[in-house]
């Protein structure tokens, strides 16, 4: 019996013989790794059992969700088992009182949004934002556009987690709106890129889908005016569910050709009770006027909204900056030919996007860096046999 066959037998004993494969086509999904086997567990308990097996046999595990990301697995010398969450697609429980939903990590974003909509719920982020990505993948390695000015970053959706730790134990964090019980271990493992644990199940907070969702579009003479107005809108307490600022080149793409000049725009989505939206729109108009802005017609705003939501996916390179840094940075992008836009706003910071990976300034110098030393120490403590091959390995 070859070692691979022996491994197959042991893995089959955990997940069942029909839920693993050594076919080239399945192994190819783990590009560059060439795993000996690919396995499709049905839940966290099976993942934990596989991890215990991996520790015992000193093999590695690489995790794949929806396949929409670009993992940078380090290719190890010892065998690799590819683990896909494609069977873990269930909504386990939906509680309409708390507005929480328990989902398996392999459910795709679009399916989750569709299921929530049937119950009158939503996440506050566009359905098309992350398409076929899985919720587990999104929370393990959040994309740069995963943020709403009203709801915060994507991780704010997550109330609690169940993870399979590298040692093969299952860790379920308490479901409570907020806690003060030491470090938040569950949230600490979000963004981990499967380096010390695998997300298996998540409790997500949702919102009642508001009766009213209103887009609004404001025209500004300069990108600087637009950005300053956007900041003022947030800092006065208006909380749009989407906020974007675009320069002329990007605005042409988002709005389409018009018979008037559009140097810069601020686009917003507002959701909630009618009276709240009305007051917010009044306030936005007032602030726009203070910065030489003007409100564009509702049909243009609706068109912009539809186009932006359906083309929400990433198509540029972003840097997270403070508002002051962003104001300084956009000075370099007065050339109308180059697309520049800003989103993922809060009252303090914003993502600056450019269409290519050219330097978003001094922005690179402004931003901090990931503390790999700390992450490596944590991995050494929690995954001493280096069983998990993180989607972005820690050196």
Residues 75-104 touching another protein, rule: CB under 8 A, are 95, 97-100
Q: Which of 18, 177, 260, 299 binds another protein (CB under 8 A)?
A: 177
State which of positions 281-310 bind another protein (CB under 8 A). Answer: 282-283
By CB under 8 A, is residue 391 in contact with another protein? no
State which of positions 231-260 bind another protein (CB under 8 A). Answer: 231, 235-239
Name the one range near another protein by CB under 8 A: 50-58, 60-68, 273-281, 290-298: 273-281
CA dihedral 315, 321, 324, 327 (to 10 degrees): -20
Q: Tell me how far, at minimum, the Cβ of 203 lies from another protein, in Å.
A: 9
Coil/strand/helix, residue 68: coil
By CB under 8 A, is residue 395 in contact with another protein? no
Name the one range near another protein by CB under 8 A: 62-70, 243-251, 265-273, 307-315: 265-273
- Residue closer to another protein by CB (options 26, 156) is 156
Coil/strand/helix, residue 266: strand
Instruction: For residues 135 and 65, give the distance between their C-alpha atoms in angstroms, rounded to a whole number.
Output: 8
- Which residues, in sequence order, are CB contacts of 278 under 8 Å at separation 6+? none
By CB under 8 A, is residue 9 in contact with another protein? no
DSSP 340-368: EEEES--SSEEEEEESSSS--TTHHHHS-
- Residue closer to another protein by CB (options 79, 152) is 152
By CB under 8 A, is residue 159 in contact with another protein? yes
- Residue closer to another protein by CB (options 77, 369) is 369
By CB under 8 A, is residue 162 in contact with another protein? no
Number of residues binding to another protein, judged by CB under 8 A: 73
By CB under 8 A, is residue 280 in contact with another protein? yes
State which of positions 307-326 bind another protein (CB under 8 A). Answer: 320, 322-324
Q: Are 192 and 154 in contact (CB under 8 A)?
A: no
The distance between the two most distant Cα atoms of the chain, rounded to a whole number of Å, is 77
- Which residues, in sequence order, are CB contacts of 33 under 8 Å at separation 6+? 62, 73, 75, 80, 82, 389
By CB under 8 A, is residue 382 in contact with another protein? yes
Name the helix (H) or strand (E) containing 295.
strand 294-295
- Residue closer to another protein by CB (options 154, 251) is 154
Q: Which of 145, 150, 247, 248 binds another protein (CB under 8 A)?
A: 150
State which of positions 101-130 bind another protein (CB under 8 A). Answer: none
- Residue closer to another protein by CB (options 254, 325) is 325
Stated length of the chain: 395
Task: Measure Cα distances from 271 to 114, 209, 298, 309, 345 in Å.
Answer: 18, 9, 15, 15, 16
By CB under 8 A, is residue 370 in contact with another protein? yes
Residue 318 main-chain phi, psi, to 5 deg: -125, 155
Name the one range near another protein by CB under 8 A: 35-43, 84-92, 254-262, 279-287: 279-287
Q: Tell me how far, at minimum, the Cβ of 317 lies from another protein, in Å.
A: 15
Coil/strand/helix, residue 176: coil
Instruction: For residues 19 and 12, give the distance between their C-alpha atoms in angstroms, rounded to a whole number.
Output: 7
Give the angle 71-74-79 at the CA atoms, nearest 5°: 110
State which of positions 183-222 bind another protein (CB under 8 A). Answer: 183-192, 205, 207-208, 210
By CB under 8 A, is residue 365 in contact with another protein? no
Instruction: For residues 283 and 174, give the distance between their C-alpha atoms in angstroms, rounded to a whole number.
Output: 40
């Amino acid at each position: 019996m070859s070692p691979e066959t022996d491994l197959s037998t042991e893995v089959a004993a955990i997940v069942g013989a029909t839920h693993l494969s050594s076919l080239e086509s399945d192994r190819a999904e783990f590009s560059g790794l060439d795993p000996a086997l690919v396995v499709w567990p049905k839940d966290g308990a099976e993942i934990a059992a596989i991890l215990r097996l991996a520790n015992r046999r000193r093999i590695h595990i690489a995790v794949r969700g929806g396949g929409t990301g670009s993992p940078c697995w380090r290719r190890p010398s010892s065998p690799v088992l590819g683990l896909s969450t494609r069977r873990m697609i269930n909504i386990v429980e939906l509680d309409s009182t708390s507005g929480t939903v328990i989902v398996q990590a392999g459910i795709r974003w679009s399916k989750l949004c569709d299921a929530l909509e049937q119950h009158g719920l939503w996440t506050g982020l566009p359905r098309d934002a992350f398409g076929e990505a899985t919720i587990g993948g999104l929370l393990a390695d959040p994309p740069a556009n995963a943020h709403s000015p009203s709801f915060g970053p994507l991780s704010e959706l997550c109330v609690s987690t169940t993870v399979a730790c590298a040692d093969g134990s299952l860790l379920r964090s308490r479901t409570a709106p907020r806690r003060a019980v030491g470090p938040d271990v569950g949230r600490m493992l979000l963004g981990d890129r499967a380096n010390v644990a695998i997300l298996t199940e998540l409790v997500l907070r949702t919102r009642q889908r508001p009766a009213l969702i209103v887009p609004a579009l404001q025209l500004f003479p300069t990108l600087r005016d637009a950005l300053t107005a956007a900041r003022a809108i947030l800092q006065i307490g208006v909380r749009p569910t989407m906020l974007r600022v675009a320069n002329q080149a990007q605005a042409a793409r988002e709005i389409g050709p018009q018979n008037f000049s559009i140097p810069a725009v601020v686009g917003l989505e507002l959701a909630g009770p009618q009276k709240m939206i009305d007051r917010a729109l009044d306030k936005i108009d007032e602030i726009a006027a203070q910065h030489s802005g003007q409100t564009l017609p509702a049909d243009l705003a609706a068109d912009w909204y539809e186009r932006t939501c359906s083309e929400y996916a990433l198509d540029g390179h972003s840097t997270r900056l403070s508002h002051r840094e962003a104001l300084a940075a956009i000075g370099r992008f007065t050339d109308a030919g180059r697309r520049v836009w800003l989103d993922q706003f809060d009252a303090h910071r914003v993502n600056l996007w450019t269409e290519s990976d050219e330097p978003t300034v001094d922005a690179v110098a402004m931003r901090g860096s990931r503390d790999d030393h700390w992450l490596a120490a944590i991995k050494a403590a929690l995954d001493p046999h280096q069983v998990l091959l993180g989607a972005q390995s820690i050196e």
